[in-house]
Structure 1
Amino acid sequence: MGVIQIKTAEEYKTKVTDAQGPVIVDFFATWCGPCKAVSPLLEKLSDAHSGVDFYKVDVDELASVAAENGVSAMPTFHFYNKGERINEVKGANPPAIQAGLQALLQ
């Protein structure tokens, strides 16, 4: 399925906070080196786990959404189940991202 970029606050609400299934959101910035480094991992995980929706939010384009979610570092990953955030990973930390995904699937 791939990682889909969310473009509006309304889209974020519909796809993330109103979602009924597991969701992972990557808060990133285009100028962020670690964000670019971890991006291929997220694409790979999204291809391997079709039951999880993967989204990304550009913190510069949607600063209000990033602020509402308390994002202060890039990348930051939020893990949701049924619209409720159950985990957060700050930084390009592949083992923590994979652990967050596994916890989401249980």
Structure 2
Amino acid sequence: MTVHNIATKDAFHEAVKAHQVVIVDAFATWCGPCKAIAPIIAKMSEEEKFKDVFFAKIDVDDLPELSQELGITAMPTIIAFKNGERDGTVVGAKLPAIQELVAKQL
């Protein structure tokens, strides 16, 4: 798989409806920790055990309305959705917590 760049609020809601498990990386282009965690999330998206997980990124500056709807107050924020429902959040570049959040979705 890959990490899909979500460009609109509608595309985000479609992804959450269309996939059983969605991991959203809410980032900002100017955010250092976001840049540090992005390649790790990209690598996770390529792992066989996560083949059924839809990994997505949203730029909080490009989608402020969606960011507000999701309650994003700091970047990076990683949010898990399972069966259309929010199923966990990690705020910050906390790698062990992010890995645990993603693994919990399997």
In the TM superposition, structure 1's runs of 4+ consecutive aligned residues that sit over 4 Å from their partners are none
What is the number of equivalent residue pairs in this alignment?
104
Letter of the 1:29 counterpart: A
The aligned counterpart of 2:37 is: 38
Do the aligned residues in 1 keep the contact of 2:19 with 2:54 (CA within 8 Å)? Answer: no
Take 1:61 and 1:51, find their aligned partners in 2: how far apart are those partners? Answer: 27
Distance in 1, matches of 2:33 and 2:51, equals 25
Residue type at the aligned position of 1:70:
G
- Taking structure 1 as the reference length, what is the TM-score of the superposition? 0.95
Match of 2:9 in 1: 9
Which residue of 2 is the match for residue 26 of structure 1?
A: 25
Q: Which runs of 5+ in 2 are unaligned?
A: none
**Structure 1 letter corresponding to 2:60:** V
The code of the aligned residue for 2:23 comes to: I
Question: Matches of 2:105 and 2:18 in 1, distance apart?
Answer: 14
Cα distance, 1:50 vs. partner? Answer: 1.1
Query: Equivalent residue of 1:71, what SS?
Result: coil
Residue 20 of structure 1, CA deviation = 4.0
Q: Using the alignment, how far apart are the partners of 1:39 and 1:73 within structure 2? A: 15
> Which residue in the other structure is 1:60 paired with?
61
Name the SS of the counterpart of 2:7 in structure 1: coil
The sequence identity of aligned pairs, in percent, is: 45
Partners of 1:46 and 1:20 lie apart in 2 by 14
Q: For structure 1, which runs of at least 5 residues remain unmatched after alignment? A: none
- Residue 2 of structure 1 deviates from its aligned partner by 1.1
TM-score scaled by length of structure 2 = 0.95
